[in-house]
Amino acid sequence: MAINAPEGTYDLLPDRKLFWEQFKQTARDVFGLYGYLPIETPVIERTELFVRGIGEATDVVGKEMFTALSGANLQKLLNGEKLPSKSRLSLRPEGTAGVVRACVQHDLVPQGAPPAKLMYAGPMFRAERPQFGRQREFNQVGIECLGAEDPATDAEAIIMLMRFFDRVGIPQESRVLLINSLGCATCRPAYREAVRAYMEAHADELCETCRERMELNPLRAFDCKNEQCAQVMEGAPKIGDHLCPDCAEHYDQVRALLDVAGISYVEDQRLVRGLDYYTRTVFEVQTVGDDRAQNAIGGGGRYDKLAEDIGGRPTPGFGFALGFERCANVLEALGHGFPRARACRAFIACVNDEVRADAFALAQVMRDAGVATELDHQGRSLKSQFKLADKLGALAVIILGPDELAEGQVRVRNMNSHEESLVLKDEAIPAVLSIL
């Protein structure tokens, strides 16, 4: 039986792969204007990084992480031996923890230095139940800004993301920006306790998962998709009433800066996000008129304690990530045309087998001259060579025939206008270039 790609993963075939490359390039162009530089961290990290960074009680770490073992370590585990924590590795479920780890490891934000502004793009892995817009391997583009606590950092990054969506073709009417503040180590514990106490008082109205969450991660109950839980949580204490003066001031300033920049947003006090590292500002961009659970195309926020949690010195941070596949789904629904991956720009067609050696030699000359050129290697008829040229995306076809070649000439066809001209063989490349 043929072996297919694992469930929840997919192949980026040439057209989609080209779009992914263009998508990343647009991100580099837009984020570059704001000072972001590229970084690439390993796809695999020590499990402990995610446990300490993202939080053991989150679904992402507690339930969805793919943990990897080398053959030797798997054997040890099967033999009942204990593995040292260093040998426990996991595929990254997201990019923030790895980038912050790299900043700590390489001291990218020394005392008094300007913030480190970094962007990344690549695959992330979560063992979720696959469905439309939810894969086990998916691609994210993300940014992290480390070293600045100022609300201007939050606002600047959010504005930059909106500019990116504009550029990539997801207009303002198709998206909604939700924002909230989750407070800090000073004000959140009391708020968390207030939510927990409220949930305890309503325990018999909550689903089993929310009852389980109550002690470990009560704020996640705001995300529960169960109708009745949603109704109960409507009455829960609101974070806005529990922010300390510093957090309230920070949040006010973020909103004021977004207002000045003309960015519209909706405040959503139930927006808690699924990763434990967030402090203060959190936000999510969702698609409008899409009530599917997978309507979040991007999200992020501030994480002022993450660097310390993974063993670094106190370093405030802010960042976001967006999901390439979900953005591509939205663009598809908006009727966006996707690029076509062209294997070549020019094609050399042979009238008969006699001229194949000349075609082979001319193809090398054309490629050396910088023109992506293809030709048939399967003995096709002239008609099917034209079909192939079309399929490969050729804009010009050079036709080699024995009679013309004897006169030192070739025919050049413009595949769009179907015009054909007879030119000297030495003039073939300029004739092709004038078509491309």
Interface residues toward ligand HAM, by CB under 6 A: 94-96, 126, 128, 133-135, 138, 140, 142, 144, 274-275, 296-301, 319-323, 325-326
- We find the least distance from the C-beta atom of residue 75 to ligand HAM, in angstroms, to be 31
Burial of 148-160, coded b for 16+ CB within 10 Å and e otherwise, reads bbebebbbbbbbb
Question: What is the DSSP track for 122-148?
Answer: EEEE-----BTTB-SEEEEEEEEEES-
- We find the least distance from the C-beta atom of residue 142 to ligand HAM, in angstroms, to be 5
Nearest to 324 by CA among 5, 12, 8: 12
Position of minimal CB gap to ligand HAM: 323
Considering beta carbons, is residue 92 or 192 the nearer one to ligand HAM?
92
Considering beta carbons, is residue 254 or 429 the nearer one to ligand HAM?
254
- We find the least distance from the C-beta atom of residue 8 to ligand HAM, in angstroms, to be 8
Considering beta carbons, is residue 251 or 320 the nearer one to ligand HAM?
320
Question: Are the CB atoms for 180 and 268 separated by under 8 Å?
Answer: yes
For 85-200, where are the E strands, in sequence order? 89-91, 116-125, 137-146, 175-181
CB atoms under 10 Å from CB of 14, counted, come to 12
- We find the least distance from the C-beta atom of residue 37 to ligand HAM, in angstroms, to be 16
- Side chain identity at 74, as an amino acid letter? L
Nearest to 287 by CA among 182, 180, 181, 169: 169
Q: How far apart (Å, rounded) are the C-alpha atoms in residues 104 and 311?
A: 8
Cα separation values, 373 from 146, 296, 301, 405, Å: 46, 42, 47, 19
Considering beta carbons, is residue 143 or 346 the nearer one to ligand HAM?
143
Considering beta carbons, is residue 182 or 429 the nearer one to ligand HAM?
182
- We find the least distance from the C-beta atom of residue 49 to ligand HAM, in angstroms, to be 13
Question: Are the CB atoms for 330 and 174 separated by under 8 Å?
Answer: yes
CB atoms under 10 Å from CB of 100, counted, come to 29
H or E stretch at 60: helix 59-62
- We find the least distance from the C-beta atom of residue 41 to ligand HAM, in angstroms, to be 12
- We find the least distance from the C-beta atom of residue 160 to ligand HAM, in angstroms, to be 13
CB atoms under 10 Å from CB of 86, counted, come to 9
Considering beta carbons, is residue 157 or 432 the nearer one to ligand HAM?
157
- We find the least distance from the C-beta atom of residue 129 to ligand HAM, in angstroms, to be 9
Considering beta carbons, is residue 93 or 218 the nearer one to ligand HAM?
93
Considering beta carbons, is residue 188 or 326 the nearer one to ligand HAM?
326
